[in-house]
């Protein structure tokens, strides 16, 4: 069975001034391609930029690509003790990209900036994505299911979450470098 391979290179996001929460621990992205969704690694912010440099590959039958009008990239913020919140999303329309890729046999769009649309419909910041499409790829059963689904993630227990919080608050230097301070003999005799 023949299909196509769509590769998405997630480079970075920047200009996320409103996305600072206390207790936050990082950003991640959920990429939806047709009926498949994948989750990126969690990355922390450096100088108002969030770096991933992660590549995702969607290998689908040709019919699914023809019915798929867009690629949705949702930027999420991980917040401690609360449910992760959505910051905004970027939508890449794939119609022309797929058509040109089928015509030429290959298309690659170098990483370019796409606006991030917030929940209220305004634009803030941008996400840098690269896209590559290769039509007429031989599908194998294992590559067809190679994308990891976000719903297949391992759930964390409440005990593990509480333990990770408690361990961060323990002053470990007291455990490893403890010693009893003894004043020199001369200073004790003077008193």
45-59, 74-88, 114-128, 149-163: segment of lowest average pLDDT: 149-163
What are the tens digits of pLDDT across the range 16-51? 775 555 545 688 999 998 888 999 999 877 767 889
Closest CA to 97 of 127, 126, 71, 72: 71
DSSP lists the bridge partners of residue 157 as none
pLDDT category, 3, cuts 50, 70, 90? confident
DSSP line for 29-66? EEEEETTEEEE---B-EETTEEEEEEEEEEEEEHHHHH
pLDDT of residue 153: 45
Gap between the Cα atoms of 109 and 131, Å rounded: 5
Average pLDDT over the chain reads: 77
Residue 7 confidence class, pLDDT cut points 50, 70, 90: very high
What is the DSSP secondary-structure string of 1-23? Answer: -EEEEEEEEEEEEE--GGG--TT
pLDDT-wise least confident of 1-5, 43-47, 103-107: 43-47
pLDDT of residue 187: 53
Q: Is the model's pLDDT at 89 over the cut of 50?
A: yes
Indicate the burial class of 7 (C-beta count within 10 angstroms; 0-12, 13-18, 19 or more): middle
- Region class of 175: left (phi > 0), else alpha (psi between -120 and 50), else beta: alpha
Mean pLDDT of 54-68: 83
Beta strands across the sheet bearing 45-46: 36-39, 24-33, 70-79, 85-93, 107-118, 123-138, 2-14, 49-61, 45-46
Global pTM reads: 0.69
Question: Which of 46-60, 79-93, 109-123, 137-151 has the least mean pLDDT?
Answer: 137-151
pLDDT at res. 143: 43
pLDDT in tens, 120-158: 889 999 999 999 999 888 777 544 444 444 444 445 556
How far is 48 from 14, CA to CA, in rounded Å? 6
């Amino acid at each position: 069975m023949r299909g196509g391979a769509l590769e998405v290179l997630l480079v970075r996001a920047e200009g996320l001034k409103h996305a600072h929460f206390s207790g936050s621990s990082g950003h991640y992205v959920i990429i939806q391609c047709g009926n498949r969704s994948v989750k990126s690694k969690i990355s922390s912010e450096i100088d108002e930029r969030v770096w991933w440099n992660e590549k995702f590959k969607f290998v689908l039958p040709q019919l699914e690509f023809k019915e798929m009008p867009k690629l949705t990239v949702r930027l999420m913020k991980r917040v401690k003790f609360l449910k992760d919140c959505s910051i905004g999303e970027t939508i890449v329309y794939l119609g022309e990209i797929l058509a040109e890729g089928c015509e030429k046999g290959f298309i690659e769009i170098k990483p370019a900036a796409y606006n991030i649309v917030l929940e209220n419909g305004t634009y803030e910041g941008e996400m840098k994505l690269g896209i590559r499409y290769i039509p007429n790829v031989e599908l194998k059963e294992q590559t067809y299911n190679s994308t990891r689904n976000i719903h297949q993630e391992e759930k964390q227990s409440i005990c593990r979450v509480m333990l990770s919080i408690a361990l961060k608050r323990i002053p470990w230097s007291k455990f490893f470098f403890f010693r009893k301070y003894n004043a020199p003999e001369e200073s004790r005799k003077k008193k």
